[in-house]
Structure 1
Amino acid sequence: MKRNFAALSIVTPAGQHIAQRQKRLEIRSWQPEQLPLKDLVIVENKNYLSKAGDEEAGMAVAIVDIEAVHPWRKDEIEAASATYWAAGYWAWEISNVRPIDPPIAVQAKRKIYFIEMDHA
């Protein structure tokens, strides 16, 4: 049965790191309009989608919850699977990770967007 989900695209390999519970924070320059975000689909894609209208093929790799967002701290580089820290970013706290196995082909778009897919 198809269901509508909110989705967030993330450049490879970060989506798999989330699905494997290795990445506990998603770092963004913006905050979601409302929290919590329940049943958010993580869509892994190959390229940064940096301007309005950008989209490409992606793979839904996990369903997560985002309960809270806070200013990103220097001591959170490892939790974010990042290689460096920069001021002015937001750390989205990832919880309740449910991997999608096998991954499902969907479109990757900017910001939070909506997809329809078969998933219990």
Structure 2
Amino acid sequence: MRALSVVRPGGSLIAAGQKTLEVRRWAPELSPTDDLLIVENGRFLRQDGDEDPNGMAVAVVRVKAIRPFIAADMTAACASFFEEGWLAWELSNLRPLPPGRRLRAARRIYEVDFTP
């Protein structure tokens, strides 16, 4: 399954339905029908190859659309600041997962062996 790591508390906010936009500088290669596992981890993974073995699977979502991030998106993204040039990933079809499923977290979109 394809996965995306999101730094705590962002993953939990997605799983709770409070964070409906994920904001990144890049667009994923996903269709609106592709499932994406959200893995919450405790630190930013800044360099290619960075991983965190202590990730937690928190939800499965779909990325309905990708568009420019605008200041009016701050609440939906649970963001603390706004900067031009970022992309808003509109999350849909939220399926929260029961707690306790540890997985590695990695940069960008990556593959994991996971069945919800």
Q: Normalising to structure 1: TM-score of the pair?
A: 0.92
Partner in structure 2 of residue 40 of structure 1: 36
Distance 2:113 2:12 in 1: 21
1:106 aligns with 2:83: no
- Give the deviation of 1:35 after TM superposition: 2.5
43, 55, 60: which one aligns with 1:58: 55
1:80 aligns with 2:74: no
**1:58-117 deviations in Å (ceiling 9; x for gaps):** 000000010110000111100000011100000000001100112410000000001012
Partner secondary structure for residue 75 of structure 1: helix
- Give the deviation of 1:41 after TM superposition: 0.3
Partner in structure 2 of residue 14 of structure 1: 10
3, 10, 21: which one aligns with 1:25: 21
RMSD of aligned C-alpha atoms?
A: 1.1
Q: Normalising to structure 2: TM-score of the pair?
A: 0.95
Sequence identity of aligned pairs in percent?
44
Q: Is the 8 A contact 2:30 2:63 kept in 1?
A: no
More strand by percentage: 1
Count residues with an aligned counterpart.
Answer: 115
**1:13-37 deviations in Å (ceiling 9; x for gaps):** 0000000000010000100124226
Name stretches of at least 5 consecutive residues in structure 1 with no aligned partner: none
